[in-house]
Amino acid sequence: MEILNEIKFTMPSLSVNEGAARAVVSSFLIQADPTVEELSDIRTAVSEAVTNAVVHGYRRKKGNIELTVRLLPERVIYIRVKDRGCGIEDVEQAMEPLFTTAPEEERSGLGFSVMQSFMDRLKVKSAPDKGTTVTMRKRLSAHGD
Amino acid sequence: MKIDIKSENGAAIAALSGEIDHHNAKELRAELDRFIISVQPRQLAIDFGGITFMDSSGIGLIMGRSKLMKECGGVLEVLNPQPYIRRVLKLSGIERIVKIR
């Protein structure tokens, strides 16, 4: 699919970068003129995906998180969050609401549920020791709506 | 991230401002827990009016404080969440456990 615009950046898996990732995504999306609600949905979904990479993917050793944001035709926003961390053994189980492997850190197990309900499409590709790639899409409402 | 706690006659309000994510939930959790354990209020209301962003880390924060308040014989409430925060709260079903006003 044609890419109208794209931003791609890499950051170390430091929790402070969860906020940095949201800020960069917000700035990039200004050109698409999303509604307050749409921007808030995307920011929240990005925050969940990056947090998963920090908390779970790089739980044992730090590494890099790669974030890609694309503006596609028909006002579709594409987001990819990729890590090369420990990966997920059972993706289906990980996506179940309230499932968490980090209750001691008060992780609610709702990260994927938030991504799923705030975005139109969510895809999770993962393999143990290979890492996890989360891709999400959301179509913004027609301009002027 | 800012937290301002006022307490009177066993009822306390903790007004939060800023963004709640995994990174700064740790600090909030520590500060709220310190207060709950030392003061043991009957009622603690966390005011979300000044919160400009919250992801599911905020749900963990509320659930954890609700549990601690219960253990200390008190009740936790959530005040003034903005519409986008309400959506995360709704998705979690937390309103079955914690009163939201």
* B23–A16 C-beta distance less than 8 A: yes
User: How far A70 CA lies from chain B's nearest CA (Å)?
Assistant: 22
pLDDT (0 to 100) of residue A144: 53
The domains of chain A, with CATH numbers, are 5-139 (3.30.565.10)
CATH 3.30.200.20 describes domain B2-100:
no
Going by the DSSP 8-state scheme, the letter that residue B68 receives in this structure is: H
Q: Give dist(CA A137, CA A39) in Å, integer.
A: 13
Output the CA–CA distances (angstroms, integers) from residue B53 to A86, A87, A125, in the order listed. 29, 28, 27
CB-closest option in B29, B56, B83 to A48: B56
CB-facing half-sphere around the CA of A94: CA atoms within 13 A: 22
* B64–A106 C-beta distance less than 8 A: yes
CA-CA-CA-CA dihedral for B18, B24, B25, B26, to nearest 10: -150
Q: Give dist(CA A93, CA A91) in Å, integer.
A: 5
pLDDT (0 to 100) of residue A102: 84
Q: Give dist(CA A100, CA A95) in Å, integer.
A: 9
The interface pTM score, or ipTM, of the predicted complex is: 0.93
Could you state, in order of their start, the residue ranges of all structural domains in chain B? 2-100
Going by the DSSP 8-state scheme, the letter that residue A59 receives in this structure is: S
Strands of B1-101, DSSP E: 2-8, 11-20, 43-54, 75-79, 99-100
Taking 50 as the pLDDT cut, the residues of chain B under it are: none
| A48 given a catalytic annotation | yes
Spell out the residues 6+ positions from residue A107 whose beta carbon is closer than 8 angstroms to its own: A55, A100, A101, B22, B56, B57, B60
pLDDT in tens, A86-107: 999 999 999 988 888 888 788 8
